[in-house]
Amino acid sequence: MIEEITVSELNKKISNKEDFILLDVRTDSEYYLSNIKGAIHIPMNSVPDTLDSIKRDKEIIVQCKSGVRSSRVCEFLLKSGYADVKNLKGGIVAWAEQIDPSILVY
């Protein structure tokens, strides 16, 4: 079972300047349309090739548009030996609805 985090929990972590990785796994065009400040952008299909660049000793919160692709990436990271991995419930759509209405929803 993949652990999930809500957008309000993520917003608290950002506000508290907690040390974690927000990994945005959407496509380049999606990321450039709208993104959460501070996110690291690695498109889902590139994650296997870039594992070495993703630190293992930090909490990783994976984010996509609605939570489906990020859930798959969470599974992959857990199988690859990452311990502290969470899926952002509702993705950027939930972030736009509940936290930052200025974000473009596509």
Q: How many residues does the chain have?
A: 106
pLDDT of residue 106: 85
- Is 85 exposed, middle or buried (CB count within 10 Å of its CB: 0-12, 13-18, 19+)? buried
For residue 98, count other CB atoms closer than 10 A to its CB.
13
pLDDT of residue 55: 95
Mean pLDDT by runs of 10 across the 106 residues of the chain is 96 97 98 96 98 95 97 98 97 97 90
pLDDT of residue 1: 84
**Residue 12 resides in a domain:** yes
What CATH number did the domain enclosing 13 receive?
A: 3.40.250.10
Q: Which residue among 39, 47, 62, 64 is the active-site one?
A: 64
Total domain count, the chain:
1
What is the chain's alpha carbon radius of gyration, rounded to the nearest angstrom?
A: 13
Domain that holds residue 50: 3-98
74 carries an active-site annotation: no
